[in-house]
Amino acid sequence: MLNTKIFIANWKMNKSFNESLLFVKAHMQELIKLAEHGTIILCPSFVALYPMIEFAKSYKHSLFFGAQNCSQFDQGSYTGEVDAISLYELGVTYCIVGHSERRLLFNESNSIITEKIKQLLNTGIKPIICIGETGQEYQAKQTISVIGSQLQPILEVLTTSKNLPAITLAYEPIWSIGTGVIPDNNHLAMVYEEIQKMVAKYHFNHKIDFLYGGSVDQDNTKSILNNDYINGLLIGGASLNFQKFQKIVSLQC
Ligand code: PGA
C-alpha cells in the first residue's frame, strides 16, 4: 500500500437500500483499486450493511464496512435498537460514534456515547469517534474547552479498556458540516495540537488516527491533508457520488 490515509464515506440517510447496493455493484472494481491507495471505509445505513458485505465477499478486496451508529446496550428490551454484537456478526469492522447529528438531533450525551464506545470495544469493532464545536462555540472561542469536555470521558473509557483496537478520532466542526465552509489551516493546526496534548496525557500504546470531517471535497482535500496531524477524512456529501469520492481519494496519491 502506497499510503495509509483513511477515507470514510458517511452516507447518513442519503442513500436508500437499493442505491447503496447499486453503488458497490457498479463500482466494485474501482473501489478495489482505490483501496490500494488508502483505507476505504463505507458506512451505509444499517439495512444495507449485510448485503453490501456479502456482495463484496465474492471479490478479493481490502475494503471495510462501517455502521453509522449502535446501541449503548448489549441486548434486551430496547425496541428499535441495533446491538454491536450483531454488527460484528455481519462483518462490520468500524462504527461511527458521537457524530454531531446524533448528539444534537437524537440527544446523545457524552455518557451515552461512552457507553456505545464500550459496546464497540467489547465486540472488537473499531470506533470512529467524532468531536466538534457548534458555530456559536467557535465564535465564542470555546472550541478547545468544548472538545476537551467531549474528549475527556472518551479517553477515560479508552484507557480502562483491555481490548483497545486502533482508534480513529475525527474532529468535525459542526459549523462546517454540509455548509461548504472549512476552518483555516491555523485553526486546524491549533485544534489538532490541543487534541494531541489531551490524548498524550493518557499514554496509549495504541495507534490513534486523527481525521477531519466537514465539507470535504475535491477542491479542499489537498490543503486539509497537508496538515501533518490529519491522517484521513470523514466525508459526507461528497462521498455519495462515486466520481467525487474517487477524486478525493486519488488526490492524496
Ligand atoms: P459533509 O458531512 O462532508 O457533508 O460536510 C461530514 C459528516 O457529517 O461526517
| List of residues 6+ apart from 61 with CB closer than 8 A | 28, 31, 32, 35
Structure-block grid coordinates of residue 225: 491533508
Distance CA 237, CA 112 (A): 26
pLDDT digits (tens, 9 = 90+) for 109-151: 999 999 999 999 999 999 999 999 999 999 999 999 999 999 9
If you average pLDDT over every residue of the chain, what do you get?
Answer: 95
Q: Is the CB of 213 under 6 A from ligand 1?
A: yes
Residue 194 a catalytic site member: no
Residue 172 a catalytic site member: yes
Q: What atom of ligand 1 comes closest to residue 10's alpha carbon?
A: 9
Q: Is the CB of 237 under 6 A from ligand 1?
A: yes
Q: What atom of ligand 1 comes closest to residue 215's alpha carbon?
A: 5
pLDDT digits (tens, 9 = 90+) for 61-97: 999 999 999 999 999 999 999 999 999 999 999 999 9
**From 115, 133, 137, 172, active-site residue:** 172
**From 37, 54, 99, 101, active-site residue:** 99
Look up the pTM and report it.
0.96
